[in-house]
Structure 1
């Protein structure tokens, strides 16, 4: 009987330890190392690249269960093209209409892993009040102790391509490319 109780306790402790190991962890985006970028062909002459300077959000990930979720909010008024005049142009009604739509949001619906590595994130992207499903292809992913923050951290790079006409931001298309490549450089520190 004593052996049976000991075995039951050991099994219970093993299950508790496994459950604790597999618990979801939440990470808050480090806004000084997280940037959302967009690139498009300008009349076929060049590829223009710009970014948003303010991206906020959280990522919850359970690496053992290979699941996760994220909600990201981009401040559209933080658009940075490198030109104050062009920033105002992009913020206008024909493009981002930041007066009416001050944010772009992404809410995940599924994380997909390849082995232990995050491979893609499916979710819903909302721009100018229009929501469309997108898949972010993750090109790099790493979780490890952060040497300066002294906490666990995760980082990733991801990309997707959208058509701006589908989000009511299609002025000058197709001369100025309808296709826009979105890239995200994300670093997040554990709560």
Structure 2
């Protein structure tokens, strides 16, 4: 009987430990993934991805127990110049089909300050998966004034190498390093 009570207590404790993380769904209309790279030393070229989906399992009491998954269509890339976008979708770079996705799945979170963390995760792009680290900041958590439900906002940055994802054409003339800036809003799931 004691072992049955102990097992029940362990199950209850485990349930309580995992119950703290709450599911938040990304608000694609207020979330962006921006990127920039140096073009021949003359300028910085910018672009963005939109139309992405994802969720955050957010544990406000223990952020290191949180997780995030995001996916976005490669073809949602916008650079402001159609010929550049067409070149990026060609076999020189992505060779993208409508179903090709860029994904990020967190594998660990290290809290670095009151509202900051390093989020390590697997970034998959162009059929290549590499580990990357995002420097993340919690902007705000609270009730959304229009939606009337809990909302959370985060910013993050990282730098990736195009060549790590078999996208290194023209490097080093066009920088191999790509700076990535992420800003997202997420609503608590119903």
Please give the alpha-carbon distance, in whole angstroms, between the structure 2 residues aligned to 1:118 and 1:166. Answer: 27
Higher alpha-carbon deviation: 89-98 or 167-176: 89-98
Greater radius of gyration (CA): 1
1:89 counterpart residue number: 87
Instruction: Using the TM superposition, give the Cα deviation of residue 96 of structure 1 relative to its aligned residue in structure 2, in angstroms.
Output: 2.2
For normalisation by structure 1, the TM-score amounts to: 0.85
Q: Deviations over 1:58-93 (max 9, x none)?
A: 000112123211110011101100112211111112
For normalisation by structure 2, the TM-score amounts to: 0.85
Runs of 4+ in 1 over 3 A off after TM superposition: none
1:129 counterpart residue number: 127
CA contact (8 A) 2:103 2:123 kept: yes
Instruction: Using the TM superposition, give the Cα deviation of residue 23 of structure 1 relative to its aligned residue in structure 2, in angstroms.
Output: 1.4
Matches within 5 A, 1:99-138: 99=97, 102-138=100-136
1:40 counterpart residue number: 37
Please give the alpha-carbon distance, in whole angstroms, between the structure 2 residues aligned to 1:176 and 1:140. Answer: 33
RMSD: 2.1
1:177 counterpart residue number: 175
CA contact (8 A) 1:50 1:79 kept: yes
Structure 2 runs not aligned, ≥5 long: 1-11
**How many pairs are equivalent?**
175
CA contact (8 A) 1:111 1:118 kept: no
